[in-house]
Amino acid sequence: MKIVIVGPGAMGCLFAAFLSKSKEEVWLLDKNNERAAKIKESGISLEGESGTWQIKTKTTSNPQEIGQADLILICVKSFNTKLTAEEIKPLLNPDTKILTLQNGIGNVEIISEIAGEERVIAGVTSEGATLIDTGKIRHAGRGETIIGAIDGKTPVQMRAIREVFNKVGFDCKMSRDIKSLLWSKLIINVGINALSAITRLSNGRLIEHEGTRRILRSAVTEAARIAKRKRIKLIFDDPLAKVEAVCEGTQNNLSSMLQDILRKKRTEIDFINGVIVRLGQELGIDVPTNKFLLDLVKTIESSYLQSV
């Protein structure tokens, strides 16, 4: 199996490093020439949950160098999904599968529109990773990786993907209702990411303060109301309890959105709280807390992006 991981961020490097331990042909595709050259020369370095180790992986910024692939793993930020889907066209053959492990809602639809719905597999992962430097990551935590097709089917290629992932040490499972998992993860991100980015607090500290805990609960309640109206069954019965449990379980973690803000990078707010705001408008459901969080993160973004 020829596997291409697109995006050299924390999650992209984590999967590229682990999959490079397999007997499969693995490539890391990076749009940045200089960064790709550096990773190609030095490899990927890991520390943390899986120990301290380093591995070389085939890395390039030129899709033509790779040729057609069997599996393309999309690990770019959600706002780059459309551009990435266009750029990977040279990698596609009639049987290529595209797996997205990205945050938020909307990536599956964007990729499907460009590459074809029959190719796309959605996924959620509880693996935790933090980017320290180019090609250097901290493996912050282990967890399940669950994949599934939106139509609920389980093609042979998806079972093969699960086997490869499990062989290299990931706990990979398949689901016939991946939409529920995507929305369940969205609910958690809605409660944590924007609020942590605005306050600069770690996940655990969000529920230590009455003010942030109240805002978190309000944002989650609004998002759960949207999911209920869309008849999406979440994988947990009590969204508020689940999000607070995640805060406790990852108490020292800095959310990906907070990391973006600290690095003065563009965030994925449009694909998280922004989704709730847009659907609220479409469905006639008032979501003032999510609108408030969206506006604040957008303001923080514009304050540094305009000056770059």
Q: Per residue in 219-266, pLDDT tens?
A: 999 999 999 999 999 999 999 999 999 999 888 888 999 999 999 999
Q: Which residues does residue 25 pair with via DSSP β-bridges, in sequence order?
A: 2
CATH 3.40.50.720 range(s) for the chain read 2-176
* Two tokens, residue 13: 């490097």
Note if 185 is an active site residue.
Answer: yes
Which CATH number applies to 2-176: 3.40.50.300, 3.60.90.10, 3.40.50.720, 3.50.50.60?
3.40.50.720
d(CA 181, CA 177): 7
Helix and strand totals (H; E) in the chain: 12, 12
* Two tokens, residue 81: 């999904």
Residue 206's pLDDT band, with cuts at 50, 70 and 90, is: very high
d(CA 13, CA 25): 15
pLDDT higher than 80, residue 50: yes
State residue 98 phi and psi, 5-degree precision: -115, 120
CATH 1.10.1040.10 range(s) for the chain read 179-305
Q: Which is catalytic among the residues 77, 185, 242, 291? A: 185
Q: Which fold would CATH assign to domain 179-305? A: N-(1-d-carboxylethyl)-l-norvaline Dehydrogenase; domain 2 (1.10.1040)
pLDDT in tens, 116-157: 999 999 999 989 888 999 999 999 888 899 999 988 888 888
d(CA 140, CA 55): 18
* Two tokens, residue 107: 């990536």
Are 193 and 257 in contact by the 8 Å Cβ rule? The answer is: yes
Torsion of CA 167, 7, 149, 169, to 10 degrees: 20
Q: If we measure between CA atoms, which residue out of 165, 87, 163, 72 comes closest to residue 121?
A: 72
Find how far residue 203's CA is from the centre of its chain: 17
Are 204 and 304 in contact by the 8 Å Cβ rule? The answer is: no
Residue 38's pLDDT band, with cuts at 50, 70 and 90, is: very high
Are 73 and 101 in contact by the 8 Å Cβ rule? The answer is: yes
d(CA 300, CA 305): 9
Please count the other Cβ atoms lying within 10 Å of the Cβ belonging to residue 123: 23
pTM: 0.92
pLDDT higher than 60, residue 2: yes
pLDDT higher than 60, residue 308: no
The chain-wide mean pLDDT, for the chain, equals 95
At residue 307, the pLDDT reads 59
